[in-house]
Amino acid sequence: MSALQFLADGFLVALQWHNLVFAFIGVLIGTAVGVLPGIGPMSGVALLMPVTASLTSGLPPESAAASALILLAGVYYGAMYGGSTTSILLNTPGESSSVVTTLDGYQMAKQGRAGAALSIAAIGSFVAGLVALIALVFLADPLSDLALKFGPAEYFSLMLLGLCAVSGLGGKSMTKALIMTVMGLLLATIGMDTVSGVARFTYDIPDLYQGLEFLTIAVGLFALGEVFKTIIEDDQSSKEIIKVGRVLPSKQDLKESAGPITRGSLLGFFIGVLPGAGATLASFFSYIFEKKLSKDPSRFGKGAIAGVAAPESANNAASGGAMIPLLTLGIPGSGTTAILMGALLMYNVQPGPLLFSDHPQIAWGLIASMFIGNVMLLVLNMPLVKVFAKIIETPSHFLLPLIIAISVFGVYAVQISTFDLILLVICGVAGYYLTKNDFPLAPLVLGLVLGPMIENNMRRALTTSNGDFSIFFTKPLSAAFLVCAVLWLLIPLLLKRRGKQVIISEEA
């Protein structure tokens, strides 16, 4: 069967009425999550993961997994759309990948062109979403066929590369990012060892024998951590909100933004495919690229529409690109895709090369739903720009109790354990203090998800080689991945030593 036939089957799954509802709920919540400053896609997806378990409880296992992933992916790329709203109207990025949009978007808003900036951001996001999905359709099968040739040594090295990529580019300090990665790997070792049956780091606490629940850690670190930050720091924004005015862009706006949207979409997609690069890096690169190409670079930072179109297209294309290593190789490229991977594992679905042959309903249903979700987002965003702008004004005393309630009920519903609630609060406090001291949370989440897989693949590789570690260097692909992993850590260090400014990703 060709990719297009598989995609047609995917549309049969995505167009089921309940999946259309899930896609709509996902993109709607995602846009709201993007609009609210500070929450971001990672917190949004983590927060809704337990909710999807309740919503899909009456469905068969395969359908439940497909529906849950459709909703969570909708939150992911919906948040990329919504992040531009606060950047343009408040000069406050909704999440990290919208930082660059503030440079020209807020200047456009001050000039009375907020509506044009918001609508170009929506159109750019739509085009970028389509570009990423078309590439995903045609690259998914060949990549999963290639991945089937991977043995345990290649998988171990590839996952190590994924960890180094996120650590090498995550946060303001590489040392802190590496500390968080190691912490994630250490937390992943807690529980019964699946091979030897030995209890590790359990301290005779029965709740620890099955390991730490990924969902509890993710919701605690991101959602509750953000709640504590708002409560403790009383982070009330007193900025004046600019009125939106005319929504539709002029012909001149469309003409000026066509090139940046196309270039941003392509650049963003290929950066998104790289593990660890993420949407933040994609938006930075596309902005710098447009500024270099521009006949009048001095316009950038003063309300150039290309300065909104390019980064907004790039960050949406990157979120589509990040799905490729997740679905075909089982390697999450960012914190959000690590949480999506956790959701798949929660439904006993192993992402990777066999996903497309063993679970085509889930893989192609998700890809098809992203087409439908992108159309929904455009239809939602163009007329409802003014409505979403109102969400910014939601007082935190209404918002915080809602986030706390969803976190507590969601986490308790998964294991029905008070231990998980205690762990949730501990993770919330830890999340607040770690973020406050610039320790990035994404590497910890990635370490927690990839830890057991890295350990299992290392053991399998060493079993086949009778304990000889040279197997990781004698296999060409494995050696290439290890060299890339070392370079990913060394190059930023060398650039810093030479006094260069390294663009870093805080991909959330």
Query: In the prediction, which pLDDT does 430 show?
Result: 95
Is 189:212 a contact under the CB 8 Å cutoff?
Answer: no
Chain position carrying tokens 């770690």: 434
- The SS3 assignment for 191 reads strand
> What percent of the chain has a predicted confidence (pLDDT) above 70?
89
Helix axes 61-90, 101-110, angle to 10 degrees: 50
Q: What is the pLDDT of residues 267-309, one digit of tens each?
A: 888 888 776 666 777 887 888 888 888 888 788 878 888 889 9
pLDDT-above-90 percentage for the chain: 22
Contact 304, 257 (CB under 8 A): no
Place of tokens 């030897």: 196
Task: State the maximum Cα–Cα separation within the chain, in Å, rounded to a whole number.
Answer: 70
Q: What is the number of other CB atoms lying within 10 angstroms of the CB of residue 131?
A: 22
Average pLDDT over residues 102-113: 82
Contact in structure between 170 and 504 (CB atoms under 8 Å): yes
Q: What pLDDT is attached to residue 502?
A: 54
SS (H, E, C) 291-347: HHHCCCHHHCCCCCCHHHHHHHHHHHHHHHHCHHHHHHHCCCCCHHHHHHHHHHHHC
Q: Is the pLDDT of residue 506 over 50?
A: no
Residue 142 vs residue 433, higher pLDDT: 433
Q: How far apart are CA 391 and CA 386, in angstroms?
A: 9
**Residue closest to 277 by CA, chosen among 38, 40, 506:** 506
3-state DSSP call for residue 86?
Answer: helix
Kindly report the backbone phi and psi dihedral angles of residue 140, in degrees, each rounded to the nearest multiple of 5, phi listed first. Answer: -60, -50
Residue 5 has pLDDT above 60, yes or no: yes
Which of 39-43, 183-187, 339-343 bottoms out in mean pLDDT, i.e. has the lowest?
39-43
263 touches 289 (CB < 8 A): yes
How many CA atoms does the CB half-sphere of 330 hold within 13 Å?
28
Question: Which token pair is 69?
Answer: 């992933």
The answer, yes or no, to whether residue 38 has pLDDT greater than 70, is: no
Q: Is the pLDDT of residue 261 over 90?
A: yes
Choice among 186-190, 368-372, 493-497 with the minimum mean pLDDT:
493-497
Task: Please name the helix (run of DSSP H) or strand (run of DSSP E) that holds residue 244, with its range, or none.
Answer: none
Look at residue 408 in the predicted model and tell me its pLDDT.
85
Q: Is the distance from CB of 87 to CB of 311 less than 8 angstroms?
A: no
**146: closest CA among 405, 14, 370, 331?**
331
What pLDDT, on the 0 to 100 scale, is given for residue 508?
43
DSSP reduced 3-state for 425: helix
* pLDDT at residue 238 tops 60: no
Q: pLDDT digit string (tens) for 310-369?
A: 998 998 888 888 888 888 888 887 778 888 888 888 888 888 878 888 888 888 999 899
Q: What confidence score (pLDDT) does residue 278 get? A: 65
Neighbouring residues of 199: CB distance < 8 A, sequence distance ≥ 6: 191, 192, 193, 209
Among candidates 53, 47, 54, 50, which has minimal Cα distance to 32? 47
Distance separating alpha carbons of residues 451 and 187, to the nearest angstrom: 9
Q: Which residue has the higher pLDDT, 266 or 492?
A: 266
Give the tokens for residue 76.
């992911």
pLDDT tens per residue, range 46-104:
888 888 888 888 888 888 889 999 999 999 888 877 778 777 877 666 666 777 888 88
Q: State the Cα–Cα distance between residues 43 and 296, nearest whole angstrom.
A: 39
User: Cα–chain-centroid distance for residue 335?
Assistant: 5
Residue 246 neighbours by CB distance under 10 Å: 12
Question: Is the pLDDT confidence value at 427 over 60?
Answer: yes
> Distance (Å, rounded) from C-alpha 274 to C-alpha 289?
18
Q: Quick one: pLDDT band at residue 201, thresholds 50, 70, 90? A: very high
Distance of CA 273 to the CA centre of its chain: 12
Asked whether 19 and 365 are in contact (CB, 8 A), the reply is: yes
Say which residue the tokens 């990290």 belong to: 96
Q: Which residue has the tokens 């297209």?
A: 313
Is the Cβ–Cβ distance between 64 and 70 less than 8 Å? no
What distances in angstroms separate CA 379 from CA 25, 273, 372, 375, 383, one per listed residue?
14, 27, 11, 6, 7
Most confident residue range from 43-47, 328-332, 454-458: 454-458
**Average of per-residue pLDDT across 191-203:** 89
- Least confident span in 242-256, 281-295, 404-418, 470-484: 242-256
Task: Please report the pLDDT score of residue 507 as a whole number.
Answer: 46
Q: Which of 62-71, 96-105, 486-495, 496-505 has the lowest mean pLDDT?
A: 496-505
Cβ contacts of 345 within 8 Å, gap of 6 or more: 214, 351, 449
Q: In this model, does residue 168 exceed pLDDT 70?
A: no
How does pLDDT run across 377-420, given as a tens digit for each residue?
Answer: 888 877 777 776 666 666 778 778 877 887 887 788 767 889 99
Nearest to 121 by CA among 316, 384, 322, 277: 316
